[in-house]
Amino acid sequence: MPKNSAFIDLITIALEPDSSVPLYQQLYETLREAILTGRLEAGLRLPPTRALAEELGVSRNTVVNAFEQLIAEGYIDSRVGAGSFVASDLPEEVLELRSKALDAAPSQRWDRSGILSQRGEIIASAPVRLGPSTPAAFQPGLPALDEFPFKIWEQLMDHHWRYLPPASFGYGAAVGYQPLREVIAAYLGAARGVRCEAEQIIMVAGTQQAINLAAYVLLDPGDKVWMEDPGYIDGRVALLGAGVTPVPIPVDAEGVSIDMGQQLCPDARLVYITPSYQYPLGIRMSLSRRLRLLEWANQANAWILEDDYDSEYRYAGRPLAALQGLDHAGRVIYIGTFSKVLFPALRMGYIVAPHDLVDAFTAALALVNRCLPILPQAVLTDFLAEGHFARHVRRMRTLYAERQALLVEMVQQELAGRLDIGPAEAGLHLLAHLIDYDDRLASTRLAENGIHAPSLASYAVRPQPHPGLVLGYAPSKNYKSAKALQPWRES
């Protein structure tokens, strides 16, 4: 079966009319080199001579002469009624030349040392965590993708594709689609106790971009940031990439320790926290700790970056109000994402910036991300405004509560004495403590069996008193048997 037609954008053809070399010879040499180097693969269909001539602005005879020479030398085949193709059986000398070029390539590589900036070196060496390319059993942070109402999403997508005005497909505002910002502001006020206006909502491509943006706008290289320990490791990597110094601060039963933060790093410029459901321990920051943190930030002239992931999923009472709603000094930057509620591939999140920071965040975002795609923003607007989002959350809250209870029951029945696990009042994951076993080793051996259960140690800088595994329970593929979590014991 011949491969798809190759048009001239696959290779660079630059003909020089003023050259002493005839145009057909220039074209011949360009195509021959592309075949020799493998850029034009064997069996690839070449464009018709008339179309290529028109594209290059030359006569058809120029292209025909070049093709005839290539055919005569065995580089391409011509089939009546089918067209011209790169030869499937290239001449032996061509294969020898290609083999020699590949063998010589390593010795011709240039020295790349010192080509990166200091920030680039930090980013390149950072321990970036890449989850499985396909969802794995017990993988934290994944919603039940098979339960998402894709049919409704498809209908909304089709509607907007048909009826969005042409002007909407130009460069949009860097801060995002205005109707979506208005809907999100209303939702956050009602559901999360966030005090904001639409003008404070800045749309971003997820939590990582929000953290990066905050770091670039508010921090200088070398500045220090309090980080929960254990905590969200990808947030730590994002801050390292910005050239700042994350300082691990222990987490106790009430949340991040303010006393330890002041002792270990009194001059921090920012603190990154997950107060509603600490990641990965699942601790809820107490009201007294929240008020004390706000007081510290105000006195220290520091910022609080509140990551309110998973906030919609609370199984005992209403979701807790956000820390931002208690802030009267404009020290809290609130970030949220739709990845856990809808689907990660949507890549849609938001920042609620204090009024004093809106202009700076907007300018910074315009430099790195001119605008998010308009179509998913328009669809998400209607998904929220028409009540689909609220209905989906209610349905998933019931489903996830059932799945969490099932996971706890199975582990207690089948892995008693190996894993110590109990229910949690929120989130999409549970922390299961290992009994007398190394969590890093257990996580590695589980991964070899297709199970993605990160170790608690992988989220921490300092050693943790109790080893554990972080288990996601939302996807349906987790529930064949809790015995699937046993492979580390078999070796």
3-state secondary structure 198-234: HHHEEEECCHHHHHHHHHHHHCCCCCEEEEEECCCHH
Same domain membership, residue 300 and residue 195: yes
Same domain membership, residue 184 and residue 102: no
Instruction: Kindly write down the DSSP assignment for every residue of 462-491, as one continuous string.
Output: SPPSS-EEEEE--SGGG-S-GGGG-GGGG-
**Does a structural domain hold residue 63?**
yes
pLDDT above 60 for 392: yes
**Does a structural domain hold residue 128?**
no
For residue range 163-202, what is the model confidence (pLDDT) as tens digits? Answer: 888 888 888 889 999 999 999 999 999 989 999 999 999 9
Give per-residue burial for 149-170: e unless 16+ CB within 10 Å, then b. eeebbeebbeebeeeeeeeeee
For residue range 136-163, what is the model confidence (pLDDT) as tens digits? Answer: 788 888 899 999 999 999 999 999 999 8
Kindly give the pairing relationship between strand 76-79 and strand 3-5: unpaired
**Does a structural domain hold residue 125?**
no
Query: What is the model's pTM?
Result: 0.78
**Does a structural domain hold residue 202?**
yes
d(CA 474, CA 66): 61
Q: What is the mean pLDDT of residues 14-43?
A: 86
Q: What is the CATH number of the domain that holds 402?
A: 3.90.1150.10
pLDDT above 50 for 1: no
Give the CA dihedral 49, 50, 52, 58, nearest 10 degrees: 110
Q: What is the CATH number of the domain that holds 80?
A: 1.10.10.10
Same domain membership, residue 322 and residue 228: yes
Do the Cβ atoms of 140 and 428 come closer than 8 Å? yes
Looking at residue 108, its pLDDT comes to 47
Same domain membership, residue 359 and residue 215: yes
Same domain membership, residue 456 and residue 370: no
Same domain membership, residue 398 and residue 283: no
Same domain membership, residue 397 and residue 349: no
Question: Which residue segment(s) compose the domain that 66 sits in?
Answer: 3-106
Looking at residue 127, its pLDDT comes to 63
Please state the domain count of the chain.
Answer: 3
**Does a structural domain hold residue 308?**
yes
Looking at residue 42, its pLDDT comes to 82
**Does a structural domain hold residue 226?**
yes
Same domain membership, residue 482 and residue 409: yes
Looking at residue 11, its pLDDT comes to 56
Same domain membership, residue 464 and residue 431: yes
Locate 104 and state its tokens: 């010589």
Residue ending a domain, choose from 48, 82, 106: 106
Looking at residue 480, its pLDDT comes to 53
**Does a structural domain hold residue 364?**
yes
Same domain membership, residue 415 and residue 379: no
Same domain membership, residue 79 and residue 216: no
Q: Which single residue is written with the structure tokens 């046993």?
A: 486
Residue ending a domain, choose from 387, 409, 441: 387
Cα end-to-end span (Å), the chain: 48
Q: What is the CATH number of the domain that holds 364?
A: 3.40.640.10
